[in-house]
Each structure stands twice: as C-alpha cells, then as structure tokens.
Structure 1
Amino acid sequence: MLTDLFSPSVQHSLDLAGIFVFAISGALLAVRKNFDVFGMAVLAEVTALGGGLLRDLIIGAVPPAAFTDLGYFLTPLFATLIVFFLHPEVERITKAVGVFDAAGLGLFCVAGTVKAYEHGLGLTFAATLGLATAVGGGVLRDILAHEVPSLLRWDRDLYAVPAMVGSAMAALLIHFESLDGTTIVAPVLTAFVLRLMAMKFHWRAPRAWHRRSAATEEV
C-alpha cells in the first residue's frame, strides 16, 4: 500500500510538485500561443490535473483528488500568476516549456504508478496507469492549444518512452520492496533526464518497418 511506503505528507507533496511543474508548462505554452490570462489558467489546470483525473477515475478513487483538495486546484493558479508576471523572453519560452514538462513527466509517472498500486492494481497495470498519468495532461494541453499531441507525432522527440521507463523502474522498486523516500528519486530523475536527452539529441521512435510511403506529415 502507498501508505506503507510514504507518509501522507510526502504523498501530498509529491502530487503538488508534479501539479506545479506541469501547470508551469501549460501556462508557458499558453503564453507562446498568445492566450489571455484566463486561457493561461485553463491550460495550466488541464495540464496539471488531466492525467491525475484519468488515473483516479480508472482506479475508482472518486471523487478525484482534484475535486477534494483545494491545494490541487489552487496550485495551477499560483503557477499561472508566476508565469503571467515572470515568464521568460519569448525566444526562450519553448525551451522552458520542455524543461518543466519533462520534470512533470518524471514526477507524475512515478506518483501515478505508486497510487495505482495502492488501489490494488498489479505492477504491470500500475506502471501503465503511471504512464497515462504522466502523459494525459500534456495530451489534453496540446489538443486545447490546437496542436497535434507530441505523444502521437513521429517527428517529435521521445515523450512517452521516458515515462514508461520511469514507471517501470518504480514498479520494479515496489516489487523488490525497495521503494522509499530516497530511492524514489531514481525513477523520477531517470524519466526527467531521458526526456531532456531526447529533446537535446532528437531521439525518436521508429516508424513502420520498411515503410515505403512517400507521404509527408500534414501540418
């Protein structure tokens, strides 16, 4: 059980940290899209809470934490205010979005895996739901911002794979009864660093084997 692994305060802090960094990435993307402050807040809330809502509905943790904990709702608004007044120069926004998104990816894939395991899912399905927790908010963010989700585009750097690795590492640590407040840093950092390296070196997943189509991607 999750309560056996971490104290309630540690669990809550981990969730809020993931919510905050994902909200930052959502609000920064809204700035890049020239949204107003309301649009920034909406994109921040959806990015931060979308994956967690999906996770909680699937495991039957209802009402979802996003609707029972005021901190979950207010944290994205706080992130929006920070971005509204202190966002980087326009030419640096894309890089900032990527870094914060990678941080949220690492935090949420692990938090989602652990919470799913707490609610009785096997390790394989817990890791799968950890992946969904990590990428769900980003997918909704991109859709609302009128972009094809990075998760689905062959010409974008690896996004889901780092979350898969982080989730799998968390599941393995649970399996070997080695997950605690110290070792949890390993899967979070691994997913975060893998995502950053994918962005830096443009690592991409392969397309269909012996793909012969000359069709280009529609923009």
Structure 2
Amino acid sequence: MPAIIPDVSPLLLAMDLTGIFIFGLTGGTLAVRHRLDIFGVMVLALVTALAGGVLRDLLIGAIPPATMQDERYLITALASGLFAFFFHPFINRLVKPVMVLDAAGLGIFAVAGCGKALAYGLGPLPAVLLGVLTACGGGLVRDVLVAEVPRVLREEIYAVAALLGAAIVIAGAMLDLPKAPVAIAGAAAAFLLRVVSVLRGWSAPRAPGS
C-alpha cells in the first residue's frame, strides 16, 4: 500500500465537514421529535456530529482532535443543530428523514474515518475498524441519549454498510486508484446498502435458534 503522510487532505476535510453537518442534522431532528428544548437540540446535534471523529482521532494519536484544532468543525456542528431547530418541518417532509440523512452521514464518515486512519499509517484492518467506529460512534451516543436502542445494534444492516464503504477505500488504496472517485464510490455504496436494507427489511445474520 502506498505510504501516505499524516496530513489531512482537502478531500478528507471536506468529507469530515459534510458528514458532521449531516449527522448533526440527524441528531437535531431527533431531538426536536423528542420535544427537547434548544439546548437539548444543540447537545444532541453536537454529540452526534463529533463523537465518532473525536474518538477516531484519539485512537490514531491525532491529538488534540481535529474538532479542538479547527473551529470549522464546531461551527459546522452548531450550524446543523440550529438548522434542525428552525427548519425541522422542511426536513420532516423528506421520506424517513432521519434514516436517509443517517445513511448519508454513515457513508461519508466511514470513508473519511478509514482514509484518515490510512493517512496516519495504520494497516488495512485497523483502518476499516476505525472507519466503522467513526461512522457509528456519534449515532450510537445520539440514540442512547434519547433512550432508543442504537441503530448499530438493531436488526437492520448498519455497521455492515459502514464496513462496505471502508473496505472500498482500502481496495482503492491497494490498487493505487484516484482518491476522490474511490471515496465517492465508498460513500455511495454504504449509503445505498443502508437505505435498501431498510426498505427491503434486510438484516445481519443472527445466531441459529435465537
């Protein structure tokens, strides 16, 4: 696999910020649905948008985390919370808005998390695991805070979709393919698998007899 210097490329930064805004919308929208006040909406948006990335950065040694180094991360997360607070009626007109937004954020964060792990010199398997952690971490905290069973633990395919997106990034790096098309393909594949699995009722395998 080609060596990559530990630097955040413009592509990774753009994907991080896009994922933060989308995941922040899911947290804020869910908070509004649970009738939380503006403080609750902002808290849920922030933890949903930032928790996975912060944990990823701590594990790869990117300290302090990007969220604490670059104000754009916090500004983007706060903006997503405010957008959800004031424009939730518009967001709710979408079909299954939280699920669709969550699927989009899942794909973007899986790709960005895996890409950043590779940039910091991790091997393929740890990079995939960190991509999944980045994608699922914020959503897990969000669901716990509103007393819902986290989506990553439900029957619907969730972590598997993130795993697919991260695996495509690994394959692209091994084949030395252009990063931007690979990132788009990985995010799109994770998004499509997540959405199709919900619409068709697909689920991950369960233990025999369970």
Query: How high is the TM-score relative to the length of structure 1?
Result: 0.89
Counterpart CA distance in 2 for 1:70 and 1:7 is 15
Counterpart CA distance in 1 for 2:200 and 2:5 is 39
**What does residue 178 of structure 1 align with?**
177
Is 1:152 aligned to 2:156, yes or no? Answer: no
In 2, are the aligned partners of 1:26 and 1:44 still within 8 Å (CA)? yes
Structure 1 residue 2, shift from structure 2 partner: 5.0
Give the residue type in structure 2 aligned to 1:48: A
**What does residue 134 of structure 2 align with?**
133
**What does residue 164 of structure 2 align with?**
165
1:109-158 superposed Cα distances (whole Å, 9 cap, x missing partner): 0000010011111011101110111000000111111112111123xx21
In 2, are the aligned partners of 1:2 and 1:115 still within 8 Å (CA)? no
Identity %: 45
Larger Rg: 1
Instruction: Give the aligned length.
Output: 208
Which sections of structure 1, spanning at least 5 residues, go unmatched?
Answer: 212-219
**What does residue 203 of structure 2 align with?**
204
Query: Which deviates further from its counterpart, 84-93 or 174-183?
Result: 84-93
Runs of 4+ in 1 over 4 A off after TM superposition: 1-4, 89-94
1:62-109 superposed Cα distances (whole Å, 9 cap, x missing partner): 000111111101111111121111113797578111111101000000
**What does residue 9 of structure 2 align with?**
8
Alignment root-mean-square deviation, CA: 2.0
Give the residue type in structure 1 aligned to 2:16: D
In 1, are the aligned partners of 2:115 and 2:169 still within 8 Å (CA)? yes
Task: Give 3-state SS (helix, strand or coil) of 2:181's partner.
Answer: coil
In 1, are the aligned partners of 2:91 and 2:97 still within 8 Å (CA)? no
Query: How high is the TM-score relative to the length of structure 2?
Result: 0.92
Which sections of structure 2, spanning at least 5 residues, go unmatched?
Answer: none
Structure 1 residue 8, shift from structure 2 partner: 3.2
